[in-house]
Each structure stands twice: as structure tokens, then as C-alpha cells.
Structure 1
Amino acid sequence: MSQTIEQLLELQLATLVSLSRLLEQEKEAIVARKAADIARLAGDKLALINKVQQQDHQIASHAHRQQLTENPELAEKIETIQTTVSRCKEINEVNGEALQRAQLSFHKLNNLFQQSRGKQQMTYNSSGVAQNIRSLGTNIKA
């Protein structure tokens, strides 16, 4: 049995509310720097986005789709859906920016570690030429 246009709208709204909650969880995971949770939530987010797209396709191809503009209750439901979509987009953009900042911080920290490691492994010979510590003592034959 085919779903009514009203049922499809309710289902899509429920899916979008779930997506909104998931995006809030993702934001918390980003703030807490829980990489495993971030990866899991990203997969869940993608699944929900695909589900929303499928539902949107079902609504667009529904035999009674003209009711979406003719019926005031359905038009109101569409407005609620669009508001929820906008909210999800905003939260997702904030999460994306936070992830970019976290990644930039990680790269800066990694560069500092590498610079620090490089300084600890460098020394100078009697001629004042820089040498790597790993090469010191490798030419001893005793």
C-alpha cells in the first residue's frame, strides 16, 4: 500500500528532527574531541541525509503532490520542514567550521612536535656545521 502525502511529510519531518538531534550530538563530540564518536556520527548523518533525499523524491513523485500548495495544513507542514532543513544546515556549517579549526590546531601542534624533535636531534661539529644526532657516532669502528 502506498503512503499518503501526509504520511510522507510526517516521515520526512521526523527524519529531519532526528538529523537535527544527531547534528547536536556531533557538535558535542567535536567539542569533546571524541574522534570515534565523530566518525560514527558522520556515517549516521550521511544515512539520514540519504533517507531525507529518498523521502523528498517520493513526495515529489507522489500522485497528490499538488495538494502541497492547495492544502493550507500541508503548506504549513512544508514550511516546518523547510525551517528544520535550514536549522540542520546551520548546525552542520558550524560543525564543519569547528572540525576545520580542530584540524588546523592538530596540524599546528604536529608541526611544533616535529620542529621540537628536529631540534633535539641536531648538533654542530667542530667546524660549526649542523649534524643530525642519528649520524653521530655511526662512523666509529671500535
Structure 2
Amino acid sequence: MAQTIEQLLELQLATLVSLSRLLEQEKAAIVERKATDIARLATDKLALINQVQQQDHLIASHTQRQQLTDNPELAQKVESIKATVNRCKEINEVNGEALQRAQLSFHKLNNLFQQSRGKQQMTYNSEGVAQNIRSLGTNIKA
């Protein structure tokens, strides 16, 4: 039995509400820097987005799709769906920016560690020129 256009709209809205909740969880995981949660949530997010796309395709190809504009109740549901999509986009954008900042911070910290490690391996030759020596003390044969 085929689903009615009303059922498809309800399903679409429910999926988008789930996506919105998941994006809020993702935001919390980013703030708390829980990498395993971020990875899991990203996978779940992709699955929900695929569901939304499939549902959208079913709605667009439904025989009763003209009712989406003709029926005021259905038109209101469509507006609610659009508002939820926009909210999801905004949250996702914020999460993306937060992830980029976190990645930039990580790279800066990593560079500081690299520089620090390099300074510990620095020595001076007989002319007073600084050199990075990786084998300092490892080639002694006493």
C-alpha cells in the first residue's frame, strides 16, 4: 500500500526533527572534544540526510503532490519542514566552523610540539652555528 502525501510529510518532518537533535548532540560532542562521538554522529547524520533525500524524492514524485500547494494544512506542514531544514543547515554550519577551529587549534598545538622537539635536539658546532642533531649521544662507542 502506497503512503499518502500526509504520511510522507509527517515522516519527513520526524526525520528532520531527529536530524536536528543529532546536530545538537554533534555540537556538544565537538565542544567536549569527544572524537569517537563526533565520528559516530557524523555517520548517523549522513544516514539521516540520505533518508531525507529519499523521502523528498517520494514526495516530489507522489501523485497527490499538487495538494502541497492547494491544501492550506499541507502547505503549512511544508513550511514547517522548510523551517526545520533551515534550522538544521544553520546548526550544521556552526558545527562545521567549530570543527575547523578545533582542527586549526590541533595543528597549531602539533606545530608547537614539533618546534619544541626540534629545540631539544639542537646543538652548536665548533663555529657556534646551531644544528639539529638527531643522533646526539647515540653514536658513542665507549
Q: Specify the code of the residue in structure 1 equivalent to 2:26.
A: E
Letter in 2 for 1:41: L
Matched residues in 2 for 1:69 and 1:20: separation? 25
Residue aligned with 2:134, SS: helix
| 2:74 corresponding residue in structure 1 | 74
Instruction: Quote the residue 1:108 is aligned against.
Output: 108
Please name the residue that 1:130 is paired with: 130
TM-score, scaled relative to structure 2: 0.96
Alpha-carbon offset, residue 138 of structure 1: 5.1
TM-score, normalised on structure 1? 0.96
**2:131 alignment partner, SS class:** strand
Structure 2 vs 1, CA of residues 135 and 127 (structure 1 numbering), >3 Å: closer, same or farther?
A: farther
State the distance in 1 between where 2:44 and 2:104 align: 25
Where 2:64 maps in the other structure, the secondary structure is coil
**Aligned sequence identity (%):** 88
| Distance (whole Å) between structure 2 residues aligned to residue 42 and residue 6 of structure 1 | 29
CA distance in 2, matches of 1:101, 1:140: 45
One-letter amino acid matched to 1:81? I
2:50 maps to a residue whose letter is N
Residue correspondence of structure 1 range 27-106 to structure 2 within 5 A? 27-106=27-106
C-alpha offsets along residues 72-96 of structure 1, whole Å, 9 cap, x if unaligned? 0000000000000000000000000
Deviation at 1:127, TM superposition (A): 1.4
Q: What CA distance in whole angstroms lies between the structure 2 residues aligned with 1:38 and 1:85? A: 21
* Contact 2:59–2:65 (CA under 8 A) maintained in structure 1: yes
Alpha-carbon distance between aligned partners in 1 of 2:100 and 2:59, rounded to the nearest angstrom: 35
Aligned residues: 142
3-state SS, counterpart of residue 134 of structure 1:
coil
The unaligned stretches of length 5 or more in structure 2 are none
Using the TM superposition, give the Cα deviation of residue 137 of structure 1 relative to its aligned residue in structure 2, in angstroms. Answer: 4.1
